Amino acid sequence: MRFSTKIMCIVVLLFVGIATVAAQDIELKFNNNRKFKIVQFTDIHWKYGKPGSDEAGERMAEILDIEKPDLVVFTGDLVFAKPAREGLDMALEATVSRGIPFAVTWGNHDDEWDLTREELSQHLTTKNGNLSSTTEGISGVSNYALTIKSCDGEHDAAVLYIFDSHSYSALKQSKGYDWIKYDQVAWYRQLSDKFTAANDGDPMPALAFLHIPLPEFHEATLGTSIFVVGTHKEKVCAPEINSGLAAAMLEAGDVMGIFAGHDHVNDYVANWRGILLGYGRFTGGNTVYNNIPKGNGARIIELTEGSRSIKTWIRIKGGKILNEVDYPTDMQ
């Protein structure tokens, strides 16, 4: 399904001093079969003009032609060298040229070159199909929510929460990666409550996307009777500080799955207390470490309208499918 452009409507919702600007001018919608398909590309690490990136472009084009998704979500680290603007153009080209709507959240490497997160986000606004946005008044640049309409277009049927997972800790007491901030958790809770109220008190089926995995991605792999499917060849590079986003989602009851990138040789999904935690498949070429078995690819996520279920799989070179999972059936 391709997008239709409507007149942009900007609605400012005030929640405890937080202004959320909703400017979703491309309607996302379940198709007539009540399905909605997302392709997650992650860690493209495009180096403009350098060998190795072409493999990423070829893989993205191949997967998009096979899957024909309703939406592409890029979960960070799209660019890995100067000039970042031209690298970003190339990383997006397969999606933009096919007229597929897309959403971006930034990773820890995107703004290390010659453009800030704000400048990268501004450049996205020049691209057809861009749904990326920002929420003023909270930490980070790429925080926003997207709604998916019912197949008849009459009401919102699902929500996608996009989070900016920042970069590196600024506190000497905690080394490593930064964490989701408390104002981001509050923003999520407020939006979740709003969507639940609009859905007659039932939590709206939802997914969440970010770059750096939450600490729960590590917790979900512990024990002997844990549901884990896929490749787990790397330590989970999560923040040391757990600021409670997954707990908030567990309490709200809306988010069915949380999808991250960042760790190039992990692509597993795991059950954390009934929420599916999933890595995307490393999408990049030979520009950074990439020794994931069978090469680069993408995670595919399919939702069904009216059902709290997720079907997901990995697509790699040659169209091969790996590790199909049906949530929650396979988790029981």
Q: How far is CA 119 from CA 58, 84, 164, in A?
A: 27, 10, 15
φ/ψ of residue 23, rounded to 5: -130, 45
Instruction: Please count the structural domains in the chain.
Output: 1
Give the per-residue pLDDT at 227: 85
Q: How confident is the model at residue 21 (pLDDT cuts 50, 70, 90)?
A: very low
Task: Count the residues in the chain.
Answer: 332
Q: Identify the domain containing residue 154 by its residue range.
A: 11-331
* 6 domain residue, yes or no: no
Question: Which amino acid is residue 98, in one-letter code?
Answer: R
Is the model's pLDDT at 7 over the cut of 80? Answer: no
| Domain assignment of residue 5, yes or no | no
pLDDT digits (tens, 9 = 90+) for 196-232: 999 999 999 999 999 999 999 999 988 666 789 999 9
Query: Tokens 């920042």 — which residue?
Result: 166
Q: pLDDT over 70 for what percent of the chain?
A: 92
Does the structure show a pLDDT above 60 at 256?
A: yes
- Which are the contacts of 187, defined by CB distance < 8 A and separation ≥ 6? 15, 18, 20, 135, 138, 143
What pLDDT score was predicted for residue 172?
86
Residue range 177-190, pLDDT digits in tens: 999 999 999 999 99
Question: What amino acid occupies position 215?
Answer: P
Q: Return d(Cα 104, Cα 210) in angstroms, integer.
A: 9
- Would you state the pLDDT for residue 54? 95
CATH of the domain at 302: 3.60.21.10
> Each residue of 124-137: pLDDT tens digit?
999 999 999 999 99
Residue 236 and residue 217 in contact, taking contact as beta carbons nearer than 8 Å = yes
Q: Which of 130, 79, 85 is nearest to 103 (CA)?
A: 130
Residue 222: predicted pLDDT: 87
Q: How far apart are CA 300 and CA 73, in angstroms?
A: 10
Is 176 a domain residue? Answer: yes
Q: How many CB atoms lie within 10 A of CB 153?
A: 10
Per-residue pLDDT, averaged over 54-72, amounts to 98
**Residue 197, domain member (yes or no):** yes
- Residue 115 belongs to some domain of the structure: yes
Predicted model pTM: 0.93
For residue 266, report the phi and psi dihedrals to the nearest 5 degrees: -115, 135
206 inside domain: yes
Cβ-count burial 41-79 (b if 16+ within 10 Å, e if not): bbbbbbbbeeebbebbbebbebbbeebebbbbbbbbbbb
Tell whether the model's pLDDT for residue 97 goes beyond 60.
Answer: yes
Give the C-alpha separation, 224 to 246, whole Å.
22
The reply to whether 37 falls in a domain is: yes
Q: What are the tokens at 310?
A: 């997720």
Residue 183 to residues 3, 191, 243, 244, 330, Cα–Cα distance (Å): 32, 12, 10, 11, 34
Q: Is the pLDDT of residue 300 over 70?
A: yes
Cα–Cα distance, 13 to 65 (Å, whole number): 38
Let me know if residue 268 belongs to a domain: yes
Half-sphere exposure (Cβ direction) of 288: Cα atoms closer than 13 Å: 21
Return d(Cα 214, Cα 211) in angstroms, integer: 9
